[in-house]
Structures are given as C-alpha cells and as structure tokens.
Chains A and B, each alone.
Chain A
Amino acid sequence: MVTFILRKVASGIVVLAAISFLTYFLLYYSSANIARSILGEFATPEQVAAKEIELGLDQPLLPRFFGWAGNALSGDLGTSWFNSEPVARALMTRLPITLTVVVVSIIFIAIIATALGMAAAVKRGWIDRVVQGAAVVGDAIPSFVMAIILVTLLAIQWQLFPATSSIAPDSGSAAWVASLTLPVLAIVINGVTSAAQQIRSAVIKQLEKDYVRTLRSRGISEREILFKHVLRSAAPAGLTVLSLQFIGMLGGVVIIEQIFALPGMGALAVTSTTMGDIPLVMGVVIYTVIIVIIVNLLVDLINGWLNPKVRVS
C-alpha cells in the first residue's frame, strides 16, 4: 500500500513538473508586451526596458523557468506583476470559494446520481426511462445556460436567492449558503444525469453477473445483495465518472463564477491569463494540478479499498 501511494505521488510530481514547464513555455511566447501593459500606454521605451529587466523578461526561457521553479520549490510563488499581491495570498482567498462550489456539487451529484442510477437499474420501467431521457437533456444544457435560467427564475422573479455572490468577510454561513445554492444547483443539474446514467449501466452489468444469481440462490436478501455486493462492485465506474467530472468542473466553474460574480479561482485565472500575469497564472496552474493529483490519488485509494483486484494492477 505504501509503495502504491509513493508511486502515485512520484508520478504526480513528474506530471506537475511537466505541466509547469509546458505552461511556462507557452506563456513565454506570449509575454512580449507585458512590461508595456503593466506600465500603461504612455510609458517611454526606456521605462519599458527597465521594467523588463526588473521582471527578468530579458532572460531566455530556461533561466527564467528555473528561477521561478527554484522559488516555487522553496514555497515562494512570487507576487502578481500587475497589482503586487502575493500569489499565495491571492490563491488562498479564492481557493476556498471554488473548492466549496466544486466539492459540494460533487457530493450532491454523487448522492443523487447513485440513488437515481440504482433505482433505474433495479426498478427499470418509468424511472429508467426518465433517467435515460434526463441524461440527454442534462448533457445538452450546459451549466451556464442552466445558471442563467435559475437566476432569472429564483433570484430575479422570486427574489429567493441573491443573483450574484454576497460573500463578504463578515458574512456568516448564511450568506455562503445563499450565494452558493444557485451555482451548485446549476452544476448539479448538469452533472447528475450523466453520472446517474453511468452508475445505472454499471449496476445493470453487475446484476447480470453469475455471483448475483448465486447469492440470490442462497437466500440472501435483495437489499443486502444490492448494497453490499453490487454497489461495491459497481462503485469504481461511478467513482471514475465523478473524478472526471470533478476535474472538468475545475475548468467549467470559470463561467459559473463569472455569472454569479463569485470571487473564486476562475475569475483569477481568466484575468491573469488575458493580462499575461505569469506568476499568477503559474500559481493557478500549480494549485489546480495539485488538486487534480490529490483527487486522482484519493479515487485510486478508494477504488483499491472497495475492490482488492485494483490494488494488484
């Protein structure tokens, strides 16, 4: 088990290093005018040149990358080039919001999708048809369209929720719940149907297996078969879907954050990328990759715990 984790962590570090370099490499080629953008339209060429030296923009790619990587390894992600805010602090104020949206959404999706998927697989009939139909509709309507519909109905027409985030430092959990309900709802509606569909087919597949027949013949109750054996065997498929959704959400939440003006990572990623704020972009990328690696590791571990066969491979 320990070697399994160590191997996963080691491959994670390799991925992190590779992605960091790739991102830096791509940003390097679009960073020609950053000093000019920082100083404004009216700066003289001398000022621009001085700023480029100050930021190290006059250096070639490799020294620049290793300079940044060295600092990052010692825990210093630098400061934003545009507003001099330390990158670590900018991320720490925004990460909790994005993670809350994504984690809460994924928990809801997991619970609802499992319930729906199992119901569809076991009972078939109308529930199954509804789940199947909903999967098509849910996939077809992107979460941001759903978000706009929800805002129009629940925030503007009925004034039940704030239309845009009202999260402030002094606001208690009430403001968090109120501000995050619609974004989470939009994501859940979009994500739950496809996850339910996956779980449904995984459960059906298990139910057709010989061991289920054997268990039934030994007089074990349907409930026990379903929850103790079938769900456990079907879980890896569901977990894989959920982990993929989680990772996709980290990117997709960008638009949701814009619509609800949530001060999360998404807005930060968009503005820093368009402006060419390299330290900030790198910070966002690093944090996101680390989260993805952790999620993948957790999924592997849970899969291993649920299904010993996975551990061997």
Chain B
Amino acid sequence: MKFGPKSTVVAVLTAAALALTACGGGGGGGGNAGAPATTLTIGQLQDLVSFEPTDAHIGHTMPYYQAVYDTLIRRAPDGTLEPMVAESWTYNAENTVLTLKLRTDVTFTDGTKLDAEGVKANLDHFKKTQGRDAYQVASMDSVAVVDPTTVAITLNAPDPAFTYYLSLAAGLVASPKALGTEGIKTTPDGSGPYELDTKNTVKGSQYVFTKRADYWNKDLQKFDKITMKFLADATARTNALVSGQVDATLLDPKTGKQAESAGMTLTSSQVDWAGLLLVDREGKINPELGDVKVRQAINHAFDRKTILTQQLLDEGTPTDQVFGPESGAYLPDLDNSYPYDPAKAKALLAEAGYAKGFTLKLPSIVGFEAILAVIQQQLGDIGIKVQIETIPQANFVPDVAGGKYSAFYFQLYQAEPWVAINQMISTSALYNPFKSTTPELQTMLDAVQNGGEKSAEEAKAVNKYVTENAWFAPFYRINQMYFTNKKITVEPQLQQAIPSIYNYAPAK
C-alpha cells in the first residue's frame, strides 16, 4: 500500500472538488440577474427570543415581528404615523382617551377575524404579561370595546409617545386564540404580510417568511420570501454580504470600509448618541459631581472631534446635547456649549474648590475598553483620576440603573422627546438613578407631557436645561452604517438602527 503525502493531497483535492460540484447554487450569486428580486435576505445582529408579542423588544429584533404581525399604527420611514390595523385614531380634548377605528378586512393566519375584542385582548395581555417593553403601556389604564370596530384606550395621564408605542411592540396584534400559549412562541399567529415557514426555520440561525396569499395590503408585500439570518459576528455579516448570501445588513466603520470597496450601497443614519451620563447630580457618591461647575468642567475636557476620528473613523457627528436633530427638541446652538478647553476645565474645577482634582469610578464592559481608556486620559489631563471597574455585561444596566456608579459611559438611542425624557431625564427614568430634578425642570417636563401636538417644541427648554446644567457629557452621534447590495433598495427608518421591513424594495 502506497500512502505517501502525494496521494493524500490528491484525496483532499478530490473531496474538495466533490464539495464544489455539490454546492452549486449554495454560494448564492452576487450578480444582478436582471429581473427584480423576489426574495430578500437580511443579516440580523440579534436572535429572536420568541414570537410571543410580549417578548418583542424595540431595536434589532423588531423585523422578525413586523414580518408576521401587523401593528395598530405604522410608522413611516420619516417618523410620521400612518394607519395600519387602525384606520384612524383621535384623542379627546384632555389627551387621555385614544379612540381607534379598526379595519374590517384583517384576518390572522388561523382564520380568526380581527375585531375590537381581539385588539383589547392583545393590549390587556401586553399590559398583564409585563414583557420587556411593558413600559410602553405604563400609562394605559383600561381598554374598552365601543363597537366591533372601535376601541377606546383610557390613559392615566397624557402620554405624547403612546401612539408611537402603538407602532412598536405594544401595537403588535396576534390572534386572541394564540395569545399566551406555548405554541405562539415558535409558531406566530398574526395578521402580518408574511407567515413563518416553520419547516425551513432554525432557531438561532435563520427564519424564513413567505408572502401571505390573502393579506389586506399588497403594497407591503414587496417580496415573495424574506429570510432573516442571525449573524452575531461583524466579520461574518461582512462576508455574507460581500459574497451575496445576504442582501442587507448593519456593519461598523471598520467592516463598512470592506463592504464599500466591494461596491455595496451605504445607507447612513444617526440613531444613538454616545457619551457620559453624569448621573450623581445630587453628589451622593461623588460630592464633586453635585457641583454644576465640575460637570461642566468634565464637558470641556473632551476633544470630541479627535475621539470620533480615533474611535469611529469619523463616522459620526460631535455633539454637546442628547436630543437628536430629528427629535424636534434639537437646538443647533447648543452644540457650541462645551468646546475642548482643558485650561477652562481646570479653572472650573478650581472655582468649585477641587483644584487638586478627585477620583471618579466608571464601570466598563467588554467592548468599552478603548473608549474608556480615552476618557481616563482626557479626564486625567484636567486632574480627575478615573478608576475603571470591569463588570459582567449582564450586570451593567442593573448596576448603573441601581445607582452603583456616579457616572458611566453608554450609548443610548435618540428617541422622541417624551421617550428620551422617560429614558434619562424624568424622576422615573431608568437612567436617572438618583432621581435628580428641580422644580424648574419639573415644570418644563409637565409642559412636554401635556403639550399634545406641541410637546416636541416644549422639549427644547428641557434640552437647554440639561445641556446647560451638564447632566451629561455627550461625545457624538454615531452613524449607523447599513449596507445593501444592488439587488434591493432600502430607506432608513428614523431613530432605528435597522430599517423596518416595509422599507425594503427590489431594485428596479
């Protein structure tokens, strides 16, 4: 028997050749076949928890739900709210009762027809289950069936964001028969434009959706089939996109360069701001942070432009405020509040009586190392000694929201003013752990809450207040880099890192 290296090489090559001939279309052609695409494959950053609507969570997992469920209200890419299952809606004069008029031609995959009772069942279930996004119905007091196509939702206080929430998790409608069952977790039962092809779906890997035959709005069914592949790793997403395995996916500045050079189309939008939240404004852990001058000094310590270049290869915009340009509360002038000025920062610290500086403890998790090193160095330059404490990822939000740290670095999405306020400014906000407030600020917040149509305008005062009082030390807004190939087009969705599924279309 001859079994030298040569024959081994031959054997391996033969095996590889066999594999090649067998894989055929496995690679998925990268070229444009000419005819408009009938399928869409999206590379997703996060896996789905389950198809139960109460497990839905704003952000990267929403497209899974949008494929199979309708929402009461649909949010257009520019942020305007449009009819979906609810044909129209009106508030009473006090903004406390929202009346929804429903479509009559909506059916679920199990054949059940959607009616007011079904919508009530969904909203009640969402409130009772207290899932991840239950905060969206926190202001909801009760739901009443007025007639088979009308529901009236009573709020315990005006909530300018409530209709927006009805375009998100809180607005998902599933068949009342399936709500709360074990079955719905793996087999969704919705009225959405697509239905799940359970046979070809593998949890943790890929989800396949096929067009529903009797859907009420053909305009939302631009593809025959949508596949969502869960690709946690940025390199895997880049490779999948460049080789034609997926048509669209979110990348980062570094992997984005690779996709751009491969001729992929970039759709850039800004969703998150990144920076420090100086939460200990009462001075409970760090008495120094109780002084506004110290917080302002911290703001002057950062060379935002250089940090942006180093950290994100300039994919972003430096900013001094936490409200985004599309929020309605944005004030362009505020971005000149805290130019990089270490001398001024030191002077402010001295004025506050901390000429010798002080020690500040910041939590870090995997992925924050580089930015925290920069923060440590820049604050060190003005005499603030930063102590970095690395904690498990799962502990980060509970710890910072539980008031374990006086300040922390984070990225938060720039939401509608009322959502942003309830995220980090109001006394009940998760990221206001020390419940900082003043009577002056509270008056402004009340004006936003009761402002109805004008609430975004009212939020400008809030923005000015928290910026001038240096509640935060924002660095920049981050460019979300969404890439698509030539077979499809996509419109970015306001305030979303990834587009809603309605925003994709075959390239013409």
Contacts and interface: CB of A to CB of B under 8 A. Distances in A.
Contact of A115 (B8, B203, B397, B398): B8
A156 B233 contact: no
Interface string B1-24: 101110110011000101110111
23 contacts: A30-B392, A37-B398, A40-B134, A41-B397, A41-B401, A42-B133, A119-B5, A151-B239, A156-B242, A159-B243, A161-B27, A164-B231, A167-B202, A174-B23, A175-B26, A177-B22, A178-B23, A259-B235, A259-B236, A259-B239, A260-B236, A268-B204, A276-B394
B393 interface: yes
Given A36-B398, A40-B133, A258-B236, A85 B243 contact: no
Nearest to A31: B394
A163 B239 contact: yes
Interface string A157-179: 00111111111111001110111
A32 interface: yes
Contacts of A260: 236
B443 interface: no
A167 B205 contact: yes
B1 A227 contact: yes
Contact of A164 (B1, B7, B240, B398): B240
Contact of B26 (A84, A162, A268): A162
A163 to B, nearest CB: 4
Contacts of A268: 204
B229 interface: yes
A243 interface: no
B232 A258 contact: yes
Given A116-B5, A162-B245, 11 more contacts: A41-B135, A41-B397, A111-B11, A156-B239, A159-B29, A164-B240, A167-B205, A168-B206, A174-B22, A177-B18, A263-B204
A163 B18 contact: no
Interface in A94-153: 94, 108, 111-112, 115-116, 119, 127, 148, 151-152
B127 to A, nearest CB: 13
Given A33-B399, A42-B430, A263-B205, A156 B3 contact: no
Interface residues of B, number: 65
B394 A155 contact: no
Contact of B185 (A36, A84, A115, A271): A84
B239 A164 contact: yes
A267 B232 contact: yes
Nearest to B29: A159
B28 interface: yes
Contacts of A271: 47, 232
Given A156-B242, A156-B243, A164 B204 contact: no
B230 interface: yes
A43 B57 CA distance: 13
Given A151-B239, A261-B233, A169 B12 contact: no
A34 to B, nearest CB: 7
Contacts of A34: 394
What is the interface of chain A mostly: helix, strand, loop, or mixed? Answer: helix
A166 B134 contact: no
Contacts of A43: 130, 134
Contacts of B50: 83-84
Given A163-B239, A263-B205, A170 B245 contact: no
A276 B395 CA distance: 10
A197 to B, nearest CB: 14
A181 interface: yes
B18 A40 contact: no
Given A166-B245, A261-B230, A40 B5 contact: no
Contact of A82 (B24, B49, B236): B49
Given A84-B50, A168-B202, A174-B24, A37 B394 contact: yes
A258 B392 CA distance: 21
B186 to A, nearest CB: 8
Contacts of B7: 115
A112 B236 contact: no
Interface string B194-220: 000001111111101000000000000
Contacts of A112: 8, 12
A178 B206 CA distance: 17
B394 A163 contact: no
A169 B202 contact: yes
A189 to B, nearest CB: 11
